[in-house]
Amino acid sequence: MNYFFHIIIMINIYIVLTVSSNLLVGMTNLLSLGQAAFYGIGAYFSVLALTTLNLPLIPSLIVAMLATGVFSLLLALTSLRLKNDYFVLSTLGFQIITFSVLYNWISVTKGPYGIPGIPAPKLLGIFQVSGIIPFLIFSTVMSLFTIFIFYYLINSPFGRLLKAMREDELALITLGKNITSLKIQTFAISSSFIAIAGFLYATYVTYIDPSSFNLDESIFILSALLIGGLGNIKGPVVGSIFVILLPEILRFVGLPDSIAANMRQIIYGLILIILMRFKPEGLAGNYRIK
């Protein structure tokens, strides 16, 4: 049963990651490879708030979100002037820089040794979120909260502006809208909520190191988003469930032990290729990446 609960918790974490990323990638068509960097920044600042500042749950979460939002603003202000592939490269550079800092700033991040023994957060300084069942409830509440906030944003006037910008930036400019400001706001909101996933991961696993927030993780998050689909809430949720459950299901396929691991990877990759060939807009999405 604990294994089942663990899968649900991981799905909740990736729902937060993909739903948050969807606002940037799906609504504004800004393809970013820096999600894992913000994921890591949120995780490390969460640990800082919990251990060094001894803050309870909600203040620690706010510290992580604010810190991640500040870093996202720095990236947005320097990279949003770039277009298409150049923007992607700028987010890739940020991802590489962030990983290098986390890996080499040993006095703060412990580098490749990681930070063990992360304490369980305390709600209102009293109730400790510790154990599989309390964390299952906590992660579910946070994923539902994230879904609610982004559902409201996507269907608000702000969300309609983002949809219009995605379809035709020039038309929106002629209407007097500041698209650069819209993109900066979107970048900051998306990245700040990614920090929630960092907080959940750090406090659930109770150990973090830079390898959890590398480029492979960014690609995995983006894959979940593209598989599920862009431009709505259903797509990221479906994509998160798919990429977490599929490898677990393949574990139970009766393959010889000598080839099981490699065959699971081959089958997984083949399923993704077939899916993208016949459902390029994703399982439940409204748009394709342009």
User: What is the per-residue pLDDT for 116?
Assistant: 92
Q: What percent of the chain has pLDDT over 70?
A: 93
Average pLDDT over residues 20-43: 90
At 9, list the tokens: 């918790």
User: What is the per-residue pLDDT for 44?
Assistant: 96
First to last CA, the chain: 42
Average pLDDT over residues 158-168: 85
User: What is the per-residue pLDDT for 122?
Assistant: 79
65, 192 Cβ separation under 8 angstroms: yes
Q: What is the 3-state secondary structure (H, E, C) of 151-167?
A: HHHHCCHHHHHHHHHHH
230, 285 Cβ separation under 8 angstroms: yes
Q: pLDDT at residue 255 above 70? A: no
Dump pLDDT digits (tens) for 204-254: 998 999 999 999 899 889 888 888 888 889 989 999 998 888 878 877 776
Average pLDDT over residues 22-42: 90
Q: Is residue 163 classed exposed, middle or buried when 0-12, 13-18 and 19+ CB atoms within 10 A define those classes?
A: middle
108 closest CA partner among 178, 52, 169, 50 = 52
CB atoms within 10 A of CB 31: 16
Q: pLDDT at residue 153 above 60? A: yes
Say how far apart CA 271 and CA 253 lie, in whole Å: 15
More confident residue, 188 or 287: 188
123 phi and psi angles, rounded to 5 deg:
-80, 125
Dump pLDDT digits (tens) for 56-97: 888 999 999 999 999 999 888 888 777 778 888 999 999 999
Q: pLDDT at residue 289 above 70? A: no
Q: pLDDT at residue 290 above 60? A: no
User: What is the per-residue pLDDT for 129?
Assistant: 77
Residue written as tokens 């608000």? 156
More confident residue, 248 or 135: 135
